[in-house]
Amino acid sequence: MLDTKNIPLVHRDISWLSFNYRVLQEAKDPSVPLLERIKFLGIYSANLDEFYRVRVASLKSLIQLGKKTKQQMDFSPELVLKKVRKIVTQQQVEFGNIYKGEIIPALQKECNIFLLRPKELNSYQENFIANFFEEQLIQHVQPILLVKNKIRTFLQSNDLYLAVQLKTKGENNRYAVVRIPSHKLPRFVQIPTKETARKEIMFLDDIVRFCLPKIFPGYQIKATYSIKITRDADIYIEDEFSGDLIEKVRKGIAKRSIGRGTRFVYDRRMEPGMLGFLMAALQIKPEDLQAQGRYHNNLDLFSFPDFGMSEHKDIKLPPLSHRNLHDQTNLFTVIKKKDRLLHFPYQKYDYVIRLLEQAALDPKVSQIRIAQYRVAKNSQIIAALRSARQAGKEVMVFMEVKARFDEEANLYWADQLENWGVKVKYSLPELKVHSKLLLIKRGKTDFAYLGTGNFNENTSRIYSDFGLMTADKRLTAEVAQVFDFLEFQKRPPKQLQHLLVGQFRMRRNIYKLIDKEIAAATAGKPASIMLKLNSIQDPRMIARLYAASNAGVKIKMIVRGICSLVPNQEGYSENIEVISIVDRFLEHARVYQFHNGGKEKIYLSSADFMTRNLFYRVECAFPIYDKVLRQEIKDFLDIQWHDNVKARIIDAKQTNKYKTDEKSIPKRSQHLLYEYYQDQFLQKKD
């Protein structure tokens, strides 16, 4: 096999920035409805904020390590961070051009929506803002005078602030910061206008700017610029094997808001003297500076008012009913008859909730076991589990409390479940449990649900995921063994024959599947692999795929996010093609398809080909045995592979060129899949 140190690889963080640029491309695309383009600007910004809170923080930590430790790395964190800053700076310029040059003019022309600046207000509107300030704003504004080298001011991570230059007669310049209370008030405030057809909005930032003379009476306001600090948000647990792991997670959550800075965002028009003062007063390092435009925290564009203008939004695609499940009063009977596959958000997530609700009420059901990773805010899944416990069922919930940015919510729900008498098991030391599994014991039959996405009815509306409902003993027996490991740390007595499970030879079993294709290609027989993943970064897995390509195995990959593998490289990957699809739904399902000598093997999975998934997590890939369901997944992969509207070609230069085909009719896979499931619903029930 190829040496992982010498194979072509794109660093994961550079590849991730390329993915986030694909999100920015959606904001740039004039064929995307205008109000959806604004949302993609918000998604891009939210993604970038998290990237700085986690990945840039990690790179900075690596830079601080000793020289001997850094010599063991296969990359230079300094060089990667330098590339990151360059790419982000370029993307931010493009972001500003899209926002100012395309979005703002289009809002005015197409929607008659105008974003006002303070100098554009008339006297009537000035009075409105004065009242708004007195009635709503003043109680939330937090002005702080800065005194360099005397008072250390702490800015909250990712909160918005105005940096203000002040002056009084006979005094030198003074500086202050004012927190913009977007955590308390809407970021966008509708301003009354006498023109009924015209809609006028102001950023909360600009309302605060207008009110600065009231906040700093007696001072002249010389200059005002927006700023924010992003801080390290990872939770560091030195030893997960000793002490109370849950308490350590709670302490880590508490420290998250005061982590070290990873980025200082400021208005690029700020004068150097003012920037220098702020750097000294706030202890900002030059390498953490990031110049942007007038407004920050553009993730708030998610909440941009639409004024009911549905014509400037995506056409509605309400989740469809499943032809074999929609009118069934007893789902267990239908599942026992045959495996059932759900595909969200094309089909309703209600069936998963109904399955649990029916289990809670069914007198034949004695036990429910479920693995939770990210839980919805007002979770119907949790409500069903509570009902099951109240009905006397034995309920065990494995709650992964190390799910990044969901730790606090998961701890809350774990506490609630324990209060209701549910048996709750928590995170395993040095492992994350990322499997999406449910097991219901009903009489002598076990029923299982295996998914590629979380038990979360909210994200199921926008994440594309598969879920399998089955009573197949081959699968349910092994799901039970996984739960025995989660609940009792009891390892399977022998190698699993059907599921591919992280910590139980998952990597080795995937290698075997790849090696079988290599052997077939070497013997001159048909050999192919098709993978749909969120990310691929693991060097050893990439080396295996390069070896397969060199042997003649035809490999197609659909990768949404990180792709460290470099396709079409001479001597490594001439037989590998990779595309990425970014559209209205977030592509989240993982699918592995192997030719297997004509007896195709198809797995759905919770696992990407990342080192963390293959080594540090309990993941689960599950085979699809039913011929009809296998064909459905093959149809899905075929539709996605031939997308010529939202698919981009992944290449070594990270150009994100669209996969266009001018000779063919437009094929937008997500819309075609919706039509596919509409047609499927009309077919005869089995």
CATH number at residue 567: 3.30.870.10
Q: How much of the chain, in percent, has pLDDT values that exceed 90? A: 78
Long-range contacts of 165-169 (CB under 8 A, 24+ apart): 165/221, 165/222, 165/223, 165/224, 165/274, 166/216, 166/219, 166/220, 166/221, 166/222, 167/219, 167/220, 167/222, 168/218, 168/219, 168/220
252 falls in which pLDDT band (50, 70, 90)?
low
CATH assignment at residue 110 = 3.30.1840.10
Q: 571 and 473, same structural domain? A: no
Report pLDDT for 574.
97
pLDDT, averaged across the chain:
92
Supply the pLDDT for residue 129. 95
Query: What pLDDT is recorded for position 85?
Result: 93
- Whether residues 513 and 569 fall in one domain: yes
Same domain, 440 and 518: no
- Residues 212 and 181 both lie in one domain: yes
Q: Looking at 438, 463, 488, which one is the last position of a domain?
A: 488
Q: Is residue 321 part of a domain?
A: no
Q: What is each CA distance from 149 to 116, 359, 595, in whole angstroms?
A: 38, 64, 67
Active site residues: 434
Can you give the pLDDT at residue 546?
98
Answer yes or no: is 463 within a domain: yes
Final residue belonging to a domain, choices 439, 455, 488: 488
Considering 119-128, 180-189, 399-408, 509-518, the range whose residues carry the highest mean pLDDT is 509-518
Dig out the tokens for 594 from the structure. Answer: 């192997």
Model confidence pLDDT, tens digit, residues 124-177:
999 999 999 999 999 998 898 888 766 667 888 888 999 999 988 777 789 999
Q: Does pTM top 0.85 for this prediction?
A: yes
| 3-class SS of residue 631 | helix
CA–CA dist 37, 24 (Å, integer):
9
Is it the case that residue 459 has pLDDT exceeding 70?
yes
Average pLDDT (268-283) is 92
Residue 489: φ, ψ to 5°: 55, 35
pLDDT at 636: 98
* The pLDDT value given to residue 61: 85
- The reply to whether 31 falls in a domain is yes
pLDDT at 642 over 80: yes
Among 514, 520, 537, residue whose Cα is nearest residue 607: 537
Question: pLDDT tens digits, residue range 528-550?
Answer: 999 999 999 999 999 999 999 99
| Of 312, 345, 374, the domain-final residue | 312
Res 117: pLDDT: 93
Q: Clarify whether residues 299 and 348 are in a common domain.
A: no
Domain tally for the chain? 3
Q: Which two tokens stand for residue 657?
A: 């060129």
* Residue 54 placed within a domain: yes
Residue-level pLDDT at 256: 58
pLDDT band of residue 248 (cuts 50, 70, 90) is low
pLDDT tens, residue by residue, 216-245: 998 899 999 999 999 887 665 555 555 566
Residues 484 and 505 in one domain: no
**Residues 292 and 430 reside in one and the same domain:** no
Q: Is residue 494 part of a domain?
A: no
In a domain, 23, yes or no: yes
User: Is the pLDDT reported for residue 620 higher than 80?
Assistant: yes
- The pLDDT of residue 74: 75
Structure tokens at 619: 């993941």
pLDDT at 72: 60
Give mean pLDDT, residues 641-666.
92
- Domain of residue 406 covers 331-488
Could you tell me if 306 and 360 lie in one domain? no
318 domain-assigned: no
pLDDT for the residue numbered 253:
60
582 and 656, same domain (yes or no): yes
Q: What is the pLDDT of residue 66?
A: 62
In tens, the pLDDT along 69-99 reads 555 667 888 999 999 999 999 999 999 999 9
Q: Write the pLDDT tens digit of every residue in 329-380.
A: 999 999 999 999 999 999 999 999 999 999 999 999 999 999 999 998 889 9
CA angle 407, 408, 414 (to 5 degrees): 85
* pLDDT greater at residue 427 or residue 393: 393
Helix or strand or coil: residue 632? helix
Amino acid in the structure at residue 231: R
Residues 461 and 349 in one domain: yes
Q: Which two tokens stand for residue 500?
A: 């591919």
Mean per-residue pLDDT, 462-490: 97
Q: What is the CB-side half-sphere exposure of residue 559 using CA atoms within 13 A?
A: 29
Please indicate, yes or no, if residue 632 is contained in any of the structural domains.
yes
Tokens describing residue 443? 């009489």
Q: Does residue 645 carry a pLDDT above 90?
A: yes
CA distance 458 to 375: 9
Helix axes 34-51, 77-98, angle to 10 degrees: 160
Same domain, 406 and 280: no
| 3-state secondary structure (DSSP) of residue 533 | strand
Q: How many Å separate Cα 661 from the centre of its chain? A: 30
Q: pLDDT for 296-313, tens place per residue?
A: 988 899 999 999 999 999
Count Cβ atoms within 10 A of the Cβ of residue 492 and give its class: 0-12 exposed, 13-18 middle, 19 or more buried.
middle
Dihedral in degrees, nearest 10, Cα atoms 404, 410, 412, 414: -150
Q: Is the pLDDT of residue 409 over 90?
A: no
C-alpha 289 chain-centroid distance: 25
Confidence bin at 212 (pLDDT 50/70/90) = very high
116 and 211 share one domain: yes
Residue 685 has what pLDDT? 84
Question: Could you tell me the sign of the dihedral formed by the alpha carbons of 350, 353, 356, 358, in that order?
Answer: negative
